[in-house]
């Protein structure tokens, strides 16, 4: 077992570490602030914080998570940017779903193709 190679490289870049803080109104969604840190855990003031918005919408298949980066320099700007960024992410998701539907509808059906997928006992 020791001679097996790992399937993927899961090493963490110790020069790109962030501490995560979460803010929510317990209603519309969550804003996360990722604060850059050094490998020793102290703040890395040479890099800027990154903000991410998260929420979910209901779909026919149940709740659908939505995640988007927020262009902001502070928490107030992130909260202000949240609605527009989420709406844009939802629009992009809908466009992607429509693209998948178009691709599925345009597939060429070859006679006998359905028979090949049956399991024969």
Asked, for residue 112, whether it belongs to a domain, the answer is: no
Position 62 in a domain:
yes
Q: What Cα–Cα distance (Å) separates residue 85 from each residue in 16, 72, 75, 90?
A: 25, 11, 14, 9
Residue 89 inside a domain? The answer is yes
Residue 119 lies in a domain: no
pLDDT of amino acid 84: 97
Helices (H), the chain: 75-105, 113-116
Answer whether residue 40 is part of any domain. yes
The confidence score (pLDDT) of residue 115 equals 54
Q: How many CB atoms lie within 10 A of CB 84?
A: 13
List beta partners, residue 70: 51
Asked whether the beta carbons of 43 and 75 are under 8 A apart, the reply is no
Predicted confidence (pLDDT) per residue in 33-80, tens digit: 999 999 999 999 999 999 999 999 998 889 999 999 999 999 999 999
pLDDT of residue 114: 59
The answer as to whether 111 is a domain residue is no
60 occurs within a structural domain = yes
94 part of a folded domain: yes
pTM listed for this prediction:
0.75
Question: How many domains would you assign to the chain?
Answer: 1
- Domain span including residue 39: 17-106
């Amino acid at each position: 077992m020791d001679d097996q190679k790992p399937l993927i490289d899961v090493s963490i870049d110790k020069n790109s570490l962030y501490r995560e803080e979460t803010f929510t109104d317990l209603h519309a969604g969550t804003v996360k602030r990722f604060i850059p840190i050094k490998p020793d855990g102290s703040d890395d003031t040479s890099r800027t914080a990154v903000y991410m918005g998260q929420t979910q919408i209901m779909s026919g298949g149940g709740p659908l998570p939505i995640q988007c980066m927020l262009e902001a320099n502070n928490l107030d700007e992130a909260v202000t940017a949240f609605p527009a960024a989420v709406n844009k992410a939802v629009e992009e998701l809908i466009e992607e779903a429509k693209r998948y539907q178009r691709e599925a509808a345009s597939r060429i059906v070859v006679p006998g193709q359905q028979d090949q997928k049956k399991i024969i006992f």
